[in-house]
């Protein structure tokens, strides 16, 4: 009964992670190396601005300072195995931005300003499918890796499909953002977008 309750609880989670391959003998060959993800933040930047153009708000400018905050949070999630806006110690996106010296104040109108950054997270795998043929020393593992273009499109579409993330992504008051990505040892990719 406990297993079913846990499975029902986990079914409500919204990250987009493909199931891990079944454990088995380690193959001795792999068909291709994983992409290095170095271009992924800039590709997500391009996809984000394409989505904003289609929906009305102007493009976001790239911010190296916001990208540093985003990259640090993605790396922390990948290293420690959590997926949340707040760290296990309770540090919020605002806390991380302030610690980096970022003061995000956006004038809404002559009397009102919005203070603080907004943040989007996304988690996926680096691969579409893994197949192992054979066993033991002659086993061959075939990995269908997602390209950076595929990962960028999946990430932005995932945000657009989520009302809160969509609101952040298309907020006309935001003028800049930074994106950070980090893979973990199991080829999950953690993406953080910090907007101001």
Residue 103's Cβ-count burial label (10 Å; 0-12, 13-18, 19+) is exposed
In this prediction, residue 194 carries a pLDDT of 98
Kindly give the pairing relationship between strand 29-30 and strand 176-183.
Answer: unpaired
Domain ranges, residue 157:
17-195
Which DSSP string corresponds to 90-153? ---HHHHHHHTT---EEEEETTEEEES-EEEEEEEESEEEEEEES-GGG-EEEEEEPPHHHHHH
Q: Any bridge partners for residue 98, and if so which?
A: none
Inter-axis angle of helices 148-160 and 40-55, nearest 10: 40
% of residues, the chain, pLDDT over 90: 63
Model confidence at 150: pLDDT above 80:
yes
Q: Is residue 77 one of the residues assigned to a domain?
A: yes
Task: Considering only residues 7 and 19, tell me which one the structure prediction assigns the higher pLDDT.
Answer: 19
Domain assignment present for residue 151? The answer is yes
What is the tally of structural domains in the chain?
1
Answer whether residue 6 is part of any domain. Answer: no
Task: Give the CATH number of the domain where residue 152 resides.
Answer: 3.40.33.10
* Tens-digit pLDDT profile for residues 14-54: 455 555 555 555 545 556 677 789 999 999 999 999 999 99
pLDDT for 80-110, tens place per residue? 999 999 999 999 999 999 999 998 887 777 6
Three-state SS for 14? coil
Give the mean pLDDT of 149-177.
Answer: 96
DSSP string covering 24-76: -PPPSEESSPPP--TTHHHHHHHHHHHHHHHHSSPPPEE-HHHHHHHHHHHHH
* Nearest in space to 27 (alpha carbons), one of 128, 137, 127: 137
In the block, residue with structure tokens 């009302």: 163
Residue 3 forms part of a structural domain: no
Task: Give Cα 149 to chain centroid, integer Å.
Answer: 14
Residue 181, SS3 per DSSP = strand
- Domain-located, residue 10: no
Between CA 139 and CA 150, with CA 145 as vertex, the angle to 5 degrees is 165
For residues 120 and 101, give the distance between their C-alpha atoms in angstroms, rounded to a whole number.
20
- Give me the pLDDT at residue 121, please: 99
Considering the domain boundaries, does residue 191 fall inside one?
yes
How far apart (Å, rounded) are the C-alpha atoms in residues 178 and 63? 5
**Residue 64 falls within a domain, yes or no?**
yes
Residue 8 belongs to some domain of the structure: no
Paired tokens of 91: 């540090």
């Amino acid at each position: 009964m406990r297993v079913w309750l846990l499975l029902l609880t986990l079914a409500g989670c919204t990250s987009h992670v493909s199931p891990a391959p079944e454990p088995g003998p380690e193959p001795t060959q792999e068909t291709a190396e994983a992409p290095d993800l170095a271009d992924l933040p800039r590709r997500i930047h391009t996809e984000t601005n394409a989505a904003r153009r289609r929906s009305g708000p102007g493009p976001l400018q790239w911010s190296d300072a916001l990208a540093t905050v985003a990259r640090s949070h993605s790396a922390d999630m990948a290293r420690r195995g959590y997926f949340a806006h707040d760290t296990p110690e309770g540090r919020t996106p605002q806390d991380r931005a302030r610690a980096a010296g970022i003061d995000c104040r956006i004038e809404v109108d002559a009397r009102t300003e919005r203070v603080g950054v907004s943040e989007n997270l996304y988690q996926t795998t680096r691969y579409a499918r893994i197949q192992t043929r054979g066993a033991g020393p002659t086993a061959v593992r075939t990995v269908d890796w997602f390209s950076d273009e595929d990962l960028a499109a999946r990430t932005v579409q995932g945000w657009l499909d989520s009302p809160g993330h969509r609101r952040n992504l298309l907020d006309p008051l935001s003028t800049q953002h930074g994106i950070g990505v980090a893979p973990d040892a199991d080829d999950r990719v953690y993406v953080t977008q910090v907007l101001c």
